[in-house]
Each structure stands twice: as structure tokens, then as C-alpha cells.
């Protein structure tokens, strides 16, 4: 009798933790010519934003993005759900509304049975149905490691899109989901993750960030991004670089998954966390006395992480209420933006 291998055993990394390190990615992209840049292209690669935006008319712009990765869990349906949630998130992070998706499928056909592959795709389709969009096509190849994700297409009003470069000095930073997904995934690989920890991992990674569409309608919300493979520090730095600002981050205020907090203090973390710090640690000032586990949590690669919102101070209560009304009960103020060179200053308390 042939035993189906664990999905995570077929991949060298998992989820957004298998992203190319941010410093290496910047080096690679520095050699890629910009190409044709029509005036209608409102957002391209210039500021490492979440999606491309192309204006159609005065009222509509297309939001286009793609995201895919290797398994972060062994349950095939959960893998499909997590990957689809993560891919659609970039549409919400721009303040947009998703329209449709295309599936990207790469599977080791000689190692996985048809039933397993079908369950992965079924999981992705279930999340798209929850988001109210169809999977209208896609592409598949036979590869060594299992890969699944989506091309996601959406719409946004050109005056309502939330570019990461639109953040302003004085803005307050609000994070929608707690940190720790990478830590939980590392524990899962080591077979030390509890059932409760796994349930929380799936709960957070399959929670659609569709609150971003609502937040996109608020004038006081100046910028948004979703926190994924580069960790909270990495994606906050992208806002800082794009907007030419500095950030202050309060570690104690950052929401954290309790099980992940316990595990990271025991030394459980991902290789991606180390690569992230090596890529951008020079742009981060940690308060004296902060422990290595705190650094690991702030660089922890989030798969399908929360929205990071930059908003006017007088809109904080409204933004928090919007998050909580949409089911993001752990949304919290985590920092602020100030004038200064692009960097992040981390303190225990703001």
C-alpha cells in the first residue's frame, strides 16, 4: 500500500516563508528594466506595493496581483484555503474589491494522488466562493514541489486606492491580525504544534482581509499593506521607503498569537525570519535590552497576515471599530509615522 507523503515534507519552505529574501529580491529587480510605463499605470513596481493598478476611466481601475507558495500545512484542503486567502488579500490591501481569480497549480504528479490535488483546488475554490468571486481558469504544470496560488483581479476607484507611498507623517499604524504564523508553521514541521495552535493558525490564515474594501472608502486611511513573508518590520519598512518617512513601533502593543509567543521564547522560529533580519536589520533600531525572540517575532514571515493601516490620528477609533465589526477583534494601534529617514525604531512601549 502506497502512503501519501506529508505535503510539508515535499517542500523546502512553506507559505510566505519561502519568499526570496527582500534584499536579494531588490538586487534582482534592480537589473530588470522598467519597460513601457503608460500614464494609466497608477501603481507598478516602483514602490514594492501589493498589486498593480491600471486606470480604465475616471471611476474604475483594475487591480491585478498574483501569489503562490509551497505547503505550510499538511491538510490539502487547508493548504488550498490558506493560499487562496493570501492571494486575494493584495486586492483588499489596495482598497479594492476582487472580481475573479485564476488558479496557479504546480504539483509533483508522481508523488501526490489525484484526490489530494483535487482537495487543494477545492479548498482554494471554497475561499473564492466566500469572497464572492469565481475561479475562471488557470494553468497547471508538473513540478518537484507542490505549489498553489492565484492570480487575483479586482476593481478600485482611482481616487480610493491605498498606495503604500501615500502614508503621511503623524499617521497612526494599526495592525489587523496578530503575529506568529511563521513560528506556528515551524512548530508544525517539528511535530510540536498543539491542536489548538494548529486551529488558530488555520483560523487566522483563512480569514479574508475584505475589511480592506471598507477601509479603502475612508479618506482618513492614507495607506495600507498586508503583512506577509517579510514580517511586520519588512512590510512597515516598505511603507517608510515608499513614503519617505520614519516609523516608531511599540513591541508590547503588537498583537501576538499566545501559542506562538510561547514557542518563539523557546527558540522556535523560521529560517526566513533570519533572512529577513539579514536583509533589512540595518534599517531597524531596537531598544536596548530587547531579546532575540522579540526580533524573531517582528521578522516572522506571516502567511495571509493582517492589514497594516496608516491613518490620521483622529480616525483611529473609526478604523478600530471597522476592524472589529468585520471580525478582527485583535486589531490594535502598534505605532506611528514621523518625519525622518526611512527606518523603524522599535521600543517596548510607545
Strand partners, 224: 309
Provide Rg for the chain, Cα atoms. 19
C-beta contacts of 318-322 below 8 A and 24+ residues apart: 318/218, 318/220, 319/174, 319/215, 319/218, 319/220, 319/221, 320/174, 322/211, 322/214, 322/215, 322/218
Report d(CA 53, CA 156) in Å as an integer: 8
Is residue 100 helix, strand or coil?
strand
Cell representation of residue 16: 510566505
**Is 128 among the catalytic positions?**
no
**Degrees, nearest 5: CA angle 57-61-62:** 135
User: Can you state the angle between helices 76-93 and 114-131, rounded to 10 degrees?
Assistant: 30
Q: Which listed residue (16, 128, 240, 311) is catalytic?
A: 16
Strand partners, 141: 106
Question: Is residue 52 within 8 Å of residue 44, measured between CB atoms?
Answer: yes
Residues annotated catalytic, as ranges: 16
Amino acid at each position: 500500500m502506497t502512503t501519501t507523503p506529508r505535503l510539508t515534507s515535499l517542500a523546502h519552505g512553506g507559505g510566505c516563508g519561502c519568499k526570496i529574501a527582500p534584499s536579494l529580491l531588490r538586487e534582482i529587480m534592480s537589473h530588470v528594466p522598467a519597460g513601457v510605463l503608460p500614464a494609466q499605470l497608477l501603481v507598478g513596481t516602483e514602490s514594492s506595493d501589493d498589486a498593480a493598478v491600471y486606470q480604465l476611466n475616471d471611476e474604475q481601475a483594475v487591480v491585478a496581483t498574483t501569489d503562490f507558495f509551497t505547503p505550510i500545512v499538511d491538510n490539502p484542503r487547508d493548504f488550498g484555503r490558506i493560499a487562496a486567502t493570501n492571494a486575494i488579500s493584495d486586492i483588499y490591501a489596495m482598497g479594492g474589491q476582487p472580481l475573479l481569480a485564476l488558479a496557479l497549480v504546480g504539483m509533483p504528479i508522481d508523488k501526490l494522488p489525484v484526490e489530494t490535488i483535487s482537495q487543494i483546488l477545492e479548498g482554494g475554490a471554497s475561499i473564492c466562493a466566500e469572497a464572492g468571486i469565481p475561479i475562471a481558469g488557470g494553468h497547471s504544470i508538473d513540478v518537484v514541489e507542490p505549489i498553489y496560488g492565484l492570480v487575483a483581479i479586482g476593481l478600485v476607484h482611482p481616487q480610493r486606492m491605498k498606495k503604500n507611498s501615500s502614508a503621511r507623517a503623524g499617521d497612526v499604524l494599526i495592525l489587523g491580525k496578530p503575529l506568529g504564523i511563521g513560528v506556528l508553521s515551524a512548530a508544525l514541521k517539528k511535530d510540536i504544534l498543539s491542536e489548538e495552535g494548529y486551529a488558530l493558525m488555520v483560523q487566522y490564515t483563512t480569514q479574508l482581509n475584505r475589511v480592506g474594501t471598507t477601509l479603502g472608502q475612508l479618506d482618513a486611511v492614507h495607506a495600507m499593506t498586508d503583512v506577509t513573508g517579510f514580517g511586520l518590520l519588512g512590510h512597515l519598512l516598505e511603507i517608510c521607503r515608499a513614503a519617505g518617512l520614519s516609523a516608531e513601533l511599540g513591541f508590547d502593543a503588537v498583537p501576538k498569537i499566545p501559542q506562538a509567543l510561547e514557542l518563539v521564547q523557546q527558540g522556535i522560529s523560521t529560517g526566513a525570519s533570519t533572512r529577513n533580519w539579514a536583509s533589512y536589520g540595518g534599517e531597524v533600531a531596537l531598544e536596548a535590552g530587547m531579546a532575540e525572540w522579540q526580533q524573531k517575532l517582528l521578522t516572522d514571515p506571516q502567511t495571509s497576515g493582517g492589514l497594516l493601516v496608516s491613518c490620521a490620528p483622529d480616525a483611529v477609533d473609526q478604523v478600530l471599530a471597522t476592524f472589529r465589526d468585520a471580525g478582527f477583534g485583535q486589531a490594535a494601534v502598534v505605532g506611528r509615522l514621523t518625519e525622518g529617514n526611512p527606518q523603524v525604531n522599535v521600543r517596548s512601549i510607545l
